[in-house]
């Protein structure tokens, strides 16, 4: 039985070397990348968030745990993003302006790629103008936006309005996500879809292109 709690603890401790080596060892033992993520890494980083909320952790601890997560993701990436399936469609995704959280976005990217999507990563701190320009210049079926801060969530509505003003809103399905995001917010800002995690993001994206007939 795999000891996922040890992996969670190493993320909580911000121990990059141990997180990376435990992840590698688990992969070598034949454990599934998604289980390593869902049972070990994500519970660990969520605990870090709670400790930060309680004032027991500060920014340096947040940074160290974020680094530990990234090191583990490097090992998981080749597995999560490989999939021998036909192309599904084109997806662009970025973290909204003012927000640099990218761990969740990057997991969404890996899972989409593993399910046949061709993904363009627009990066972090992406302005409404940059989102619009990406949609204008490319033929994306879906545009994903990630936000982790309550202070940056209003950017969703701003970006959607910018797309409307530029006459681009009908060219693309818009999905939103990130820890504080809800379906209610998606409805409020008239996004086409929301998903609480990467696995459901893949399902939702598939449904959006199927229902619009834009799938490739
Ligand atoms: C790691 C971390 C950081 C790292 C980020 C490192 C990195 N490279 O990403 C660093 C140290 C940089 C950081 C900085 C800050 N952080 Co921070 N951070 C976190 C922490 C602990 C984990 C975030 C994370 O990676 N979660 C794990 C991933 C896997 O989950 P996820 O992001 O939710 O993604 C999943 C889903 O949401 C979904 N998803 C995500 N994006 C998308 C997009 C689409 C389209 C879809 C469909 C789905 C989807 O799929 C993902 C995978 O399943 C959270 C706590 C938390 N519980 O979220 C705080 C947290 C988000 N941070 C917080 C704060 C306050 C900050 C700072 C303001 C701190 C400061 N004083 O400077 C700065 C802000 C910097 C900025 N301008 O962005 C607060 C936000 C509070 C609030 N209400 O706004 C939190 C909640 C901590 C807390 N409990 O207080 N942070």
Query: pLDDT (tens digit, 9 = 90+) per residue, 119-128?
Result: 999 999 999 9
Rounded to the nearest 10 degrees, the angle between the axes of helix 42-53 and helix 59-80 is 160
- Give, using CA atoms, the residue closest to atom 86 of ligand 1: 49
* Cα–Cα distance list, 125 to 2, 23, 61, 74 (Å): 37, 29, 22, 22
CA distances for 42 relative to 45, 48, 72, 91, 198, angstroms: 5, 10, 11, 24, 12
The domain spans of the chain are 4-80, 89-212
DSSP string, 125-138: EE-HHHHHHHHHHS
DSSP state of 139: -
The contacts of residue 180 (CB under 8 Å, 6+ apart) are: 147, 148, 149, 150, 153
Is 192's C-beta closer than 6 angstroms to any atom of ligand 1?
Answer: no
Q: Name the residue with the closest Cα to ligand 1, atom 84.
A: 149
pLDDT for 63 beyond 50? yes
In this prediction, residue 82 carries a pLDDT of 86
Structure confidence at residue 214 (pLDDT)? 47
The CATH number given to 89-212 is: 3.40.50.280
What's the 215 CA to ligand 1 centre distance in angstroms? 31
Measured between alpha carbons, how far is 192 from 186 in angstroms, rounded to an integer?
7
Coil, helix or strand at residue 167: coil
Percent of all residues in the chain with a pLDDT value above 90, rounded to a whole number: 89
The CATH code that applies to domain 4-80 is 1.10.1240.10
Q: Is 89 left (phi over 0), alpha (psi -120 to 50) or beta?
A: left
Ligand 1 centre distance from Cα of residue 146 (Å) = 10
Q: What is the pTM of this model?
A: 0.95
Contact between 73 and 107 (Cβ < 8 Å): yes
The answer to whether 94 and 84 are in contact (CB under 8 A) is no
144 lines ligand 1 (CB under 6 A): yes
pLDDT given at position 1 = 61
pLDDT tens-digit readout, 137-155: 999 999 999 999 999 999 9
The closest-lying atom of ligand 1 relative to the alpha carbon of residue 150 is 84
Q: Which residue's structure tokens are 């141990």? A: 18
């Amino acid at each position: 039985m795999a000891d996922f709690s040890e992996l969670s603890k190493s993320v909580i401790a911000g121990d990059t070397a141990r997180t990376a080596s435990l992840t590698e060892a688990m992969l070598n033992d034949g454990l599934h990348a998604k289980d390593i993520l869902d049972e070990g890494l994500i519970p660990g980083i969520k605990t870090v968030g709670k400790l930060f909320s309680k004032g027991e952790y500060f920014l340096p601890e947040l940074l160290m745990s974020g680094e530990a997560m990234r090191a583990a993701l490097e090992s998981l990436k080749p597995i999560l993003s490989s999939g021998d399936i036909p192309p599904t469609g084109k997806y662009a995704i970025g973290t909204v302006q003012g927000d640099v959280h990218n761990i969740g976005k990057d997991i969404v990217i890996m899972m989409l790629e593993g399910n046949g999507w061709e993904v363009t990563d627009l990066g972090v701190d992406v302005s409404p103008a940059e989102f619009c320009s990406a949609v204008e210049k490319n033929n994306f079926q879906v545009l994903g936006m990630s936000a982790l801060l309550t202070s940056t969530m209003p950017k969703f509505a701003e970006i959607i309005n910018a797309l409307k003003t530029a006459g681009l809103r009908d060219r693309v399905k818009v999905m939103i996500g990130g820890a504080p995001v809800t379906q209610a917010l998606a409805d409020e800002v008239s996004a086409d879809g929301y998903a609480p995690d990467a696995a459901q993001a893949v399902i939702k994206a598939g449904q959006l292109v199927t229902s619009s007939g834009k799938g490739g």
